[in-house]
Amino acid sequence: MSTKIIAEIGINHNGDLELAKKLISAAYNCGVDLVKFQKRDINLVYDKETLDSPRESPWGTTNRDQKKGLEFGQKEYEEIDRFCKNLKIEWFASAWDLNSLNFLSKFQLNYNKIASAMIVDEDFLDNVAKQKKYTFISVGMSTMKHVQKAVDIFKSNDCKFELMHCISAYPFDDHQANLKMIEVLRKKFNCKVGYSGHEKGGVAISYAAVALGASSLERHFTLDRAMYGSDQAASITPEGLLKLVSGIRKIEKSLLGSEEKNILEIEKPVAKKLRSHLKKWI
């Protein structure tokens, strides 16, 4: 089974279309399968008090200025769509509200993504499932009851999905990864389970997730972790992503094989040499 590797660009483009293109190109060159963005209607996702509260950013002095500055609109996503098609890499996005879900439906995307924040919104889940696009469902900040309800909604709508184990802290420490949950979710819900990682740099935990059978692997991606943005610290750079993709493909090959225990052909010459002093060696 080939692990689907997703470069989560999210809002790391900082509202700059040219930076977004650089991120897409870099992810493509690293060999990922998909690139992903995030889409919000800020007036639905945030209340007025939050938007009007002070916040210094490159776009102004309020939260509204910052949130608005990070959002791409129709023109930008049309260019992203064109750019990805020319590069021959698929893109999709996690919608955070119904307006954004409807906006993304204008594009011929093959995937949806439920962000961990949205797994508790049953009406939203139902609307996503009705689109019948293959959906990745992140399960951070949720209980087993929340996950069960999401699974029930997608099954009732006959919409294909997979869960994604996720720790919703940006970043979190290694001991908090709880990768055992991959197998727990797979057994309980009898479905594919991927991993969406926000750990502090490095690729070791992501490697372990794949070795444990993660069907997909999503990591936040940036060109420079020192850039402005709340997700940059939990992101990996092109050097790290290239290492991650290469390592995952090696791990996949190493997991192939037979359940039978025999002497392999490549072992026989070694066995003959090292057991030559024995009367019977094979």
Q: Which of 34, 52, 35 is nearest to 43 (CA)?
A: 52
Q: Which pLDDT score is estimated for 143?
A: 98
Percentage of residues in the chain having pLDDT higher than 90: 89
At 171, is the pLDDT very low, low, confident or very high (cuts 50, 70, 90)?
Answer: confident
Partnered with residue 134 across adjacent β-strands are 111
Q: Which pLDDT score is estimated for 230?
A: 83
Residue 94 to residue 115: CA distance in whole angstroms = 6
Which fold, 4-274? Answer: TIM Barrel (3.20.20)
Q: Which pLDDT score is estimated for 104?
A: 98
Residue 69 to residue 60: CA distance in whole angstroms = 9
Could you tell me the pTM of the whole model?
0.94
End-to-end CA, the chain: 33
Residues in the chain: 282
**Is residue 58 over pLDDT 70?**
yes
* Type of residue at 46: Y
Phi, psi for residue 112 in degrees, rounded to 5: -120, 160
Average pLDDT of the residues in 63-87: 98
Contact call for residues 32 and 41 (beta carbons, < 8 A) = no
Return the axis-axis angle of helices 17-30 and 74-87, rounded to nearest 10°.
30
**Is residue 102 over pLDDT 70?**
yes
